Homo-oligomer: A and B are copies of this chain.
Amino acid sequence: MPTLKELSANRSFGGWHKQYEFHSQALNGKTRFAIFLPPEADAGKPVPVLYWLSGLTCTDENFMQKAGAHRIAAELGIAIVAPDTSPRGEQVANADQYDLGQGAGFYLDATEAPWAEHYRMETFVTEELISMVEAQFPVTDQRAIAGHSMGGHGALVLSLRHPGRYCSVSAFSPICNPAAAPWGIGAFTAYLGEDRSRWNPHDASELMKAATSDQYCPTLVSLGLSDAFLSEQLHPEKLAQAAEKSGYPLTLEQHPGYDHSYYFVATFIEQHLRFHGEMLNS
């Protein structure tokens, strides 16, 4: 079990927000994550965990600082774990663009050079991070997963690819059909190679379309109708069509006037946390 180095600790809503660093085997290097522990956990009572996956350019900090989630997580007795969005460091491959390389891991295991050496975010999030958190913090094995934009893609795809691992999934403004969107095409080409048949297993709409009932996981997706990325990058209509085809338990809500920012996330995070709370605390 890796040694955790505590980087910061702040009291928040009667619980604790903390940041830690440790050496990740999956990422082949140091990584940082943030955790919110509600008051119950502080008192030693095991609590369920929501894993939050952030979007392009983010770190473990954006959600914790901007979403206003601690208040409801404290009330519901849910821990929140926010990993970084990619491997980091001087030895880690990078690119001169915001949507590839560090800060843009896309929650998959890269197969292509130079990315494959460190970019293994799927294994990190679904295996190593869970094992570490459940061994080292007062939490249960009840898990939910959620995210924003690239992280919404990650939450949807990881829950579909790992049935049973999460009780519920939700996403704000997710990249619903990355195999057909500029952000996804760029990342998949670099990380997975030119062969498009290797992209569909990492595309939420393709996975959901083919899902069988043993893969079903209660899913809530929220989109802002003034999101500047809606039509070019997000393609929620593809996810809706996929769910209709397979009978997937998807609730897709569209909110007039809201955009892609954390002000949108903050406005509806209470609804998402209560949605997860129903599954996690049942």
Q: Is the interface of A mostly helix, strand, loop or mixed?
A: mixed
Contacts of A261 in B (CB 8 A): 10
Contacts of A14 in B (CB 8 A): 267
A224 at the interface (CB under 8 A from B): yes
User: What is the CA–CA distance of A83 and B66 in the complex, to the nearest angstrom?
Assistant: 19
A275 at the interface (CB under 8 A from B): no
Contacts of A262 in B (CB 8 A): 65
Residue of B nearest to A36 (CB): B263
A271 at the interface (CB under 8 A from B): no
A17 at the interface (CB under 8 A from B): yes
A191 at the interface (CB under 8 A from B): no
Minimum CB–CB distance from A10 to chain B (whole Å) comes to: 4
B224 touches A11 (CB 8 A): yes
Contacts of A218 in B (CB 8 A): none
A20 at the interface (CB under 8 A from B): no
Contacts of A264 in B (CB 8 A): 10-12
A267 touches B11 (CB 8 A): yes
A229 at the interface (CB under 8 A from B): no
The tally of residues in A whose CB lies under 8 Å from a CB in B reads: 23
User: What is the CA–CA distance of A61 and B13 in the complex, to the nearest angstrom?
Assistant: 22
Please judge, given known A-B contacts A65-B66, A68-B68, whether A263 and B11 are in contact too, CB under 8 Å: yes
Interface string of A50-91 (1 = CB under 8 A from B): 000000000000000110101100000000000000000000
B266 touches A68 (CB 8 A): yes
User: What is the CA–CA distance of A101 and B37 in the complex, to the nearest angstrom?
Assistant: 38
B226 touches A263 (CB 8 A): no
User: What is the CA–CA distance of A224 and B14 in the complex, to the nearest angstrom?
Assistant: 12
A44 at the interface (CB under 8 A from B): no
Interface string of A238-265 (1 = CB under 8 A from B): 0000000000000000010111011110
Contacts of A258 in B (CB 8 A): 10-11
Minimum CB–CB distance from A174 to chain B (whole Å) comes to: 19
Residue of B nearest to A255 (CB): B11
* Residue positions of A touching B, CB distance < 8 A: 10-14, 17, 65-66, 68, 70-71, 224, 226, 255, 257-259, 261-264, 266-267
What are some 30 contacts across the A-B interface (CB < 8 A)? A10-B258, A10-B259, A10-B261, A10-B263, A10-B264, A11-B224, A11-B226, A11-B255, A11-B257, A11-B258, A11-B259, A11-B263, A11-B264, A12-B263, A12-B264, A12-B266, A12-B267, A13-B266, A13-B267, A14-B267, A17-B263, A65-B65, A65-B66, A66-B66, A68-B68, A68-B266, A70-B263, A70-B266, A70-B267, A71-B266
